[in-house]
Amino acid sequence: MTDRLCLTLAQIDFTVGDIAGNVAKIRAARVHAAAQGADLLVTTELSVTGYPPEDLVLKPAFVADARAAVEALALETADGGPAMLVGTPWVEDGNLHNAVALLDGGLIAALRFKVDLPNYGVFDEKRVFVPARMPAPVIFRGVRLGLPICEDVWTPAVCAPLAEQGAEIFIVPNGSPFEADKDDVRIDLVRDRVAETGVPMIYVNQVGGQDELVFDGASFGVGADGGKLFQMPIFAEAMATIELHRLKNGWACAGGPHVELPEGLGQIYGAMVLGLRDYVTKNRFPGVVLGLSGGIDSAISAAVAVDALGADRVWCVMLPSRYTGSESLEDAAECARLLGIRLDEIGIEPAVGAFTQMLGPMFNGRKPDITEENIQSRARGLTLMALSNKFGHMVMTTGNKSEVSVGYATLYGDMCGGYSVLKDLYKTTVFALSEWRNKHKPDGALGPDGPVMPQRVITKPPTAELRENQKDQDSLPPYEVLDDILQALVEDEMAFEEVVARGHDPATVRRIEHLLYVAEYKRRQAAPGVKIGRKLFGRDRRYPITNGFRDAH
């Protein structure tokens, strides 16, 4: 039995499927832990494979490679250095589990399997893993450690039995993705588990972007009295070494960082930056290319790209048509100047003219309508994709959640691209974020200290400039109204009568509900993008395309 336990907590950006790269990071973390005199290195959920591996774990060769990596890491602990706690898929008695392995003394000293497999929102673990029976504590250096895995601490079902079996400290490997204000939710639920059991909890969370998910890190600990023991940074890799000491009434923590976390818009912006940076970097794109229109959506997208990748990896193109106003040209140029990025101009009129001539005989006798507007949008998309194909840069799409919700986005036009940082952001949040970024530069951002766009971009009425004097609110309610209706319908799944009771016009709610449903086919073909809220289209909200239901009769 020991009265002192030294832990090094590794908040690392792993890559799904890169077992060799992930193991190299774990080895480097163990070297750091040894230099700190740690007894145990703690990594995050499925750290060997990256999280979430989705259907990769259905490939026997992948699971076998992960097992071989864990066995190799275990042998390395025979050197007398720190033990390791690593996450890995593991087959036991023919069942595939989400596991954590304690590696010590050259052996796999213990294995524990996840009990509560999440199967809601972005999670689909019951599809690939088998839940475990209730686990027992692991004895390490004479200390009984409870090792619940991520979702296992979201209800009392796992922690309470572990405490009843004598667990003295909970160490929780996590792969908990970012949502706005989720750090407060996590701390509250950990405090609940601690209050129920009287056992302190060390919560170690993965950091990094994985497709549409962003893992924010922000690892922390809560003592038996409910007080925060330490707080690691958000949206950044970090290592922290803490000492736990046995007292008469339990275990106390000495040392550890106490980082102040950003709030609100600062967290949302940080998630956008990390999500884009990892998507571009892990998929080995040299940079990004996007259309810079002089509007707010492309301006904030460009700012996020520069903060994530640096100005030298961001290429913007102005794609004017006959309807592009001088203000738009000026504002795009000023955005580029403020961000220090390359801006080229390619007029789309020759392409629009060619399509008009080509389709003229078929369209003879019909008045111009949205068809001609969409041709302009698709000419821009075709141009950006041609640049991407020729030079390798990934096209960023710049549509926001308000537009995509109601179908005000053109398939194969402004929707074409490889990734979107605005996919889960309503237009009102886009306005607020733009104001925020003009006044704040987040930690780790590679962009400028001052404003990233002229104020006029934020204050002028939004327009697609696809016809004369066009404004978004010619055919949509004000964004404050639209976004409140969409929040109610999408995020909260409210009934028609409930939305109207919020003070909205019934005819407007009925129209928005209809537009929301009939645009599902477009959203199925949309680029991936950063998850910010509770209902990201595609991963969280999965509605049928063919759908005869309408709540607003």
Q: Extract the annotated binding site for ATP.
A: 291-298, 398
Model confidence at 133: pLDDT above 80: yes
Q: For residue 465, what pLDDT band results from cuts at 50, 70 and 90?
A: low
Query: 421 Cβ partners below 8 Å, 6+ apart?
Result: 272, 275, 276, 301, 304, 305, 396, 529, 530
Residue list, annotated binding site for deamido-NAD(+): 374, 403, 522
Structure tokens at 463: 């327009």
| Amino acid in the structure at residue 421 | V
Average pLDDT, whole number, for the chain?
Answer: 93
**Three-class secondary structure of residue 522 per DSSP:** helix
Helical residues (DSSP H) of 310-367, grouped into ranges:
326-339, 349-363
CA count, 13 A, side-chain hemisphere, 341:
37
Whether the link from the prior residue into 177 is cis, omega within 30° of 0, is: no
pLDDT digits (tens, 9 = 90+) for 476-518: 899 999 999 999 999 999 999 999 999 999 999 999 999 999 9
pLDDT confidence band for 475 (50 / 70 / 90): confident
Q: Which positions are annotated as active-site residues?
A: 45, 114, 150
Binding-site sequence positions for L-glutamine? 120, 176, 182
Residue 467 confidence (pLDDT): 58
Considering only 229-238, 423-432, 472-481, which range has the smallest mean pLDDT? 472-481
DSSP per-residue string spanning 21-38? HHHHHHHHHHHHHHHTT-
Walk me through the domains of the chain, giving residue ranges and CATH numbers: 4-254 (3.60.110.10), 265-472 (3.40.50.620)
**Angle in degrees, CA 402, 408, 410, rounded to 5:** 130
Provide the pLDDT confidence category of residue 113 given band limits of 50, 70 and 90. Answer: very high
Confidence of residue 1 (pLDDT cuts 50, 70, 90): low
Output the known binding site. 120, 176, 182, 291-298, 374, 398, 403, 522
For residues 67 and 64, what is the distance between their CA atoms, to the nearest angstrom?
5
What's the pTM?
0.93
Query: DSSP 3-state assignment of 319?
Result: coil
Residues 6+ apart with CB under 8 A from 517: 543, 547, 549, 550
